[in-house]
Amino acid sequence: MDTKEKMKNSERIIPAKEHIYLDGPKSRTYELGFAFHVLWQFLKGFRTLHFVGPCVTVFGSARFKEDHIFYKQAEEFGRRIASLGFTTMTGGGPGIMEAANRGAFEAGGESVGCNIKLPFEQHYNKYLTAAVTLDHFFVRKVLLVKYSYAFIIMPGGFGTMDEFFETVTLMQTKTITQFPIVLFGTEFYKELMTAIESMAAKGTISKEDLDLVLLTDDMDEAMQHISHYITTNYKIKRRWRIPWLFEKR
């Protein structure tokens, strides 16, 4: 079989995927329309979240049910975040996200979600005071980071790891301020931390980068770590229409 015939066969077995935006170049009209769609997604997010106040973002799996220990711990984090006067932000879905939102909501705090359209797992939880639904993960991740002053990484899967590593990379490269990152669950994350320590030992990251993350099972330690950073670096001011405005000292 010659090369031309192989190419023809390949073309026959690869279906067109016009609905997928990462499948190579398209017409300039299509690309312009996609750019405007992404811009609209950002504007929708900015409009929804502009007045929610400073947030602590909680990441974690959508698959844990309410009788699971991780769900209960995330719920307690939501309550404690609310007691500090912060807004609890999550991906807006079930599992850990629902638990953190629930804890904040039932404690009378602000509770927001950046939801994503998925064919499975993801749907709004009922403990949100504000929410936005997005089409693209990269838009969602920007919003989850943009409004947050600290990050709590509960046990999770690929999505949680994506969010964790993107956040810590932004801090490592000083693209964003080095806000506290709490990796909660020493047993769950021990192999991950071993791998990260191995990176430092082999020189692919700096040893100082290990200081970007606090690994703990102690909720008091986690909240103290977050609270100490914020009270040391920020002051709270009242402003019209905005419950809390944090300004860099």
- For residue 71, what pLDDT is reported? 98
Per-residue pLDDT of 111-128, as tens digits, reads: 999 998 876 656 789 999
Rounded distance between C-alpha atoms, residue 111 and residue 127, angstroms: 7
Q: Is residue 29 part of a domain?
A: no
Percent of the chain predicted with pLDDT > 90: 73
Containing domain of residue 73, as a range? 36-248
- How much is the pTM? 0.84
Per-residue pLDDT of 42-94, as tens digits, reads: 999 999 999 999 999 999 999 999 999 999 999 999 999 999 999 999 999 99
The residue with greater pLDDT, 223 or 175, is 223
Handedness of CA 73, 46, 148, 81 (dihedral sign): negative
- For residue 16, what pLDDT is reported? 46
- For residue 169, what pLDDT is reported? 95
Domain count, the chain: 1
Q: Is residue 24 part of a domain?
A: no
Cβ atoms of 73 and 169 closer than 8 Å: no
| Helices 219-233, 69-83: crossing angle, 10 deg rounding | 30
CATH code at position 171? 3.40.50.450
Rounded distance between C-alpha atoms, residue 23 and residue 34, angstroms: 13
